[in-house]
Structure 1
């Protein structure tokens, strides 16, 4: 009799989160979907702010960006903003870390590391100025003040978002990768200006979840704020903080499940075509074998191991229940397309050995959902001859096959 053991050490789900100072928690999750096995991406589950939730949801979805609102950050002028100032840094200006930045996340248990990439893909906020002049102070000859804020200055890109009162407005501009400063000049002097809420969008590049272990990964990235910093608002608009830290927590939940059909844990080894040739013609069988099908679902790396009731060399033994004679039984495995060896090769009749050699790691190329595999059991001819010579006796033994996601 052969027993099949599935042992997993957790599940595999990817979850990302940011936080720090005035920071936000960002969560994303990888959970394999049997209905879409080829889609192996992380789902961002972070509650998004109103920009992507209500104002430009289709644009955000198309760009793959997500918005957050920081209500604790205040950006205030330290001097009047002079009308039509010549130096860009002397008025309203925004520059964000729109380039891709790498950060390392580390598995809290195994210390494995992965790289996450993040960039700031948009910036906006709610600004206020004195009245007079109020919002009309941003008008320029031939261009109304609302157009100035609804249509983003280059190199930023417009979202057409604008909500305004007589002395305040909220805006939001997209920041393409590597974008430099974006700014606006008032046509009238402004005694002061403040931004009381900052809203920003981020874009993520996450690791391949199929190559990650189950569990939690953590890491962080810190952006400087202020003149010359990663977040730069010029020399007049000063932020209330000098740094913004984004803390990540990645949680990975994998699927590893093996189903053996009813009765599939009891293996009877027989010759090709059955015993009739031996019984009627005395023809010795070339081998004794049985192929047992199973169904496997896997989104994570795993290894296979074998344990035996009785051992011969690096494999299991079957024992004659009458005289104690033992013969080795060879066990091998074939896995479905999508589950590969470490070198990328297909898994076809890969020997299962007590030492574990050759089955230390199998890697999914995509999520395999309930696909058939085969365990092959065989007693080779020299040993089958020995068994036949003891006709009428029974050979038995127990083999445990283990699928293990704990590498």
Structure 2
């Protein structure tokens, strides 16, 4: 309860004004107000992306929300339709009787869930990166409760069979096979005073069975929804957790509209989404690959026996890479000049440039979508090259190219040098882009 005090600087002609607290002849008016907090229900939906080496072309999230409700009892059925069911902590209760043969569907058992696709932003918990998720309500169900047995409500002529009696109560709808445009899901339970239902809701579905007999009161509990998700492309998302919330209004004329008779225990439903992205970036270098010996094409024989200088000194080093997300590549040099690494002779007369480039396997491209063939790598993260997968690449071969260019080779082999050269280079694959 909130209290507001209003000081009225007005002199009264008498000091016995009714309803006012007086101090001398100055009136103090006490105003009381109350505010009722909005009622809200919430549920949590989780999904995981983790690359599958056995199925590298399947780059999709997997729903990890535990089944509850209909799909807990019929998981195979739900898997075949790619739908999920989850219990919602909301009940609906009627505020007036449902009249027999009512002509206004809003005065009976009406179901109008939000079947259209709704976008929402999911945000990376640490980096703040954003992606767009879409959700739609693909099915709805509950358990409806009658104030008496269905046979007593119908009266004379009611069938003893509970399922047939419920069907008779609702003008031929037995709630297993719902009125169009909702669709059948099967596997319902029925008792004299209640029955369960779970219907597929196509886009634009408004489903309203008509009562054939007066029902004094009606209640829905064990409310459940099924949902479909359009998840972002996980290959374009960072490793980590993305979170986002979509809030639906519940009640007459709102997102979950159950007509004018059935009112909810909560007036909103928030679905909290958690997408867990677990990327792979792994590079394997064959044994001995950490030592690179640069040689001319065909070896040193032409230079030793004929005095012909090599065009270049080089070495190609194969590696195997597994990648499901963007990554950057650059080199760190023991010695470097501008953005290139250098190697040095034994007595430090003059370093020579060492050029390093990379060729990546099919499925990995640059940011423009172009194949990566002999792409130069620069020293330091500021000159990093960024690459991205078009699909999950699992242990595919790539090549590192090490080369001393021709003009540098001529210096190395001149009479005043002719010394061994060496140096250390670190090649970095970095998933933090």
Q: TM-score if structure 1 supplies the norm length?
A: 0.90
What is the CA-CA distance between 1:219 and the residue it aligns to? Answer: 1.0
8 A contact 1:350–1:359 mirrored in 2: no
What is the CA-CA distance between 1:23 and the residue it aligns to? Answer: 2.4
SS in 2 for 1:151: coil
SS in 2 for 1:183: coil
Residue 43 (str. 1) matches residue 50 (str. 2):
no
Residue 284 (str. 1) matches residue 301 (str. 2):
no
Which residue of the partner structure matches residue 23 of structure 1? 42
8 A contact 1:139–1:187 mirrored in 2: no
SS in 2 for 1:127: strand
Which residue of the partner structure matches residue 61 of structure 1? 79
8 A contact 1:138–1:185 mirrored in 2: no
Which residue of the partner structure matches residue 133 of structure 1? 153
Residues 265-284 of structure 1 mapped to structure 2, 5 A cutoff: 265-284=290-309
Residues 283-362 of structure 1 mapped to structure 2, 5 A cutoff: 283-354=308-379, 359-362=384-387
Runs of 4+, deviation exceeding 6 Å: 134-137
Residue 161 (str. 1) matches residue 180 (str. 2):
no
Higher relative contact order (CA 8 A, sep 6+): 1
Deviations along 1:312-360, whole A, 9 cap, x unmatched? 2220111001343211011000001101000000000000112557743
Q: Distance in 2 between matches of 1:360 and 1:96?
A: 48
Which residue of the partner structure matches residue 98 of structure 1? 115
**1:115 alignment partner, one of 132, 141, 162:** 132
Provide the aligned C-alpha RMSD in A.
1.9
Deviations along 1:128-184, whole A, 9 cap, x unmatched? 11222176665459x975x531111111111233210011000111001232x2111
Which residue of the partner structure matches residue 228 of structure 1? 253
Residue 33 (str. 1) matches residue 52 (str. 2):
yes
8 A contact 1:137–1:188 mirrored in 2: no
8 A contact 1:138–1:188 mirrored in 2: no
8 A contact 1:219–1:248 mirrored in 2: yes
8 A contact 2:178–2:209 mirrored in 1: no
> Which stretches in structure 2 are left out of the alignment for 5+ residues?
1-38, 155-161
SS in 1 for 2:409: helix
Q: TM-score if structure 2 supplies the norm length?
A: 0.85
Q: What is the aligned residue count?
A: 383
> Which stretches in structure 1 are left out of the alignment for 5+ residues?
1-19
- Bigger radius of gyration: 2
Deviations along 1:266-303, whole A, 9 cap, x unmatched? 11100000111111211111110000001110001000
8 A contact 1:137–1:186 mirrored in 2: no
Deviations along 1:362-396, whole A, 9 cap, x unmatched? 11000000011001011111110111125652101
SS in 1 for 2:208: strand
Q: Distance in 2 between matches of 1:84 and 1:288?
A: 92
Q: Distance in 1 between matches of 2:307 and 2:115?
A: 80
Q: Distance in 2 between matches of 1:199 and 1:356?
A: 51
Which residue of the partner structure matches residue 207 of structure 1? 232
Residues 180-259 of structure 1 mapped to structure 2, 5 A cutoff: 181-259=206-284
SS in 1 for 2:185: strand
SS in 2 for 1:182: coil
